[in-house]
Every structure is written in structure tokens, then in C-alpha cells.
């Protein structure tokens, strides 16, 4: 990964953390670019669980929105589970 890609991955991790809020931690963001496609995989720690979210696109810039949207879905699912999950 070059310097610009590392900065993008770091910024993406910060933005994902803001979307996830308290209680969910971004453990790692892996960015892979090659053969005309780009892929990002973010590893999240949710309590005692590990979950990954990912997005694939034609270039790095097209990964931003889908991965942030998936982070929002994880946040919503986590909040829903806290409300209705087993006690």
C-alpha cells in the first residue's frame, strides 16, 4: 500500500468509528487494489464478537460510501439486538 492509500484507509477507519459510535471498535482496515478493482475489509469488535464489513468497487473512491453504509447497518443491528436480544 502506498502512502496515499494508507492515509485513505486511516481516514476511512476514523469515519467508520464515528458512524459506529460507542461500543463498537474498528480493529483493522485492509485496502487491496489491483486488476481494475479495489476492495476494503474492515474488522470490527462488537463486545465479544468479531465482524467484518467489506466493499468492492472500480476504484478506491467508490469504496467510501458503501463501507460507511455497511458500518451504519452494523450500528443499527447492534442497537436493535441490545433492545430485543436475550437478557
86 part of a folded domain:
no
Predicted TM-score (pTM) of the model is 0.83
pLDDT tens per residue, range 35-75: 889 999 999 998 888 999 999 999 888 889 999 999 999 99
Q: What is the CATH number of the domain that holds 36?
A: 3.30.160.100
Q: Is residue 55 included in any domain, yes or no? A: yes
**Residue 87 maps to a domain:** no
Cα(first)–Cα(last) distance of the chain, in Å?
Answer: 44
Strand partners of residue 31: 40
Kindly state whether residue 11 falls inside one of the protein's structural domains: yes
Tell me the C-alpha distance between 38 and 59, whole Å: 5
Q: Domain tally for the chain?
A: 1
Residue numbers of the domain that contains 49 = 3-81
| Residue 61 counted as domain residue | yes
- Residue 85: closest CA among 48, 57, 30, 55: 48
Residue 39 CA to residue 18 CA, distance in Å, equals 21
Amino acid at each position: 500500500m502506498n502512502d496515499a492509500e494508507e492515509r485513505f484507509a486511516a481516514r476511512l477507519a476514523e469515519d467508520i468509528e464515528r458512524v459506529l459510535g460507542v461500543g463498537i471498535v474498528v480493529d483493522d482496515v485492509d485496502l487491496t487494489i489491483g486488476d481494475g478493482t479495489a476492495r476494503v475489509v474492515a474488522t470490527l469488535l462488537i463486545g465479544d464478537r468479531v465482524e467484518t464489513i467489506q466493499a468492492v468497487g472500480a476504484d478506491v473512491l467508490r469504496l467510501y460510501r458503501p463501507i460507511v453504509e455497511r458500518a451504519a447497518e452494523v450500528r443499527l443491528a447492534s442497537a436493535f439486538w441490545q433492545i430485543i436480544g436475550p437478557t
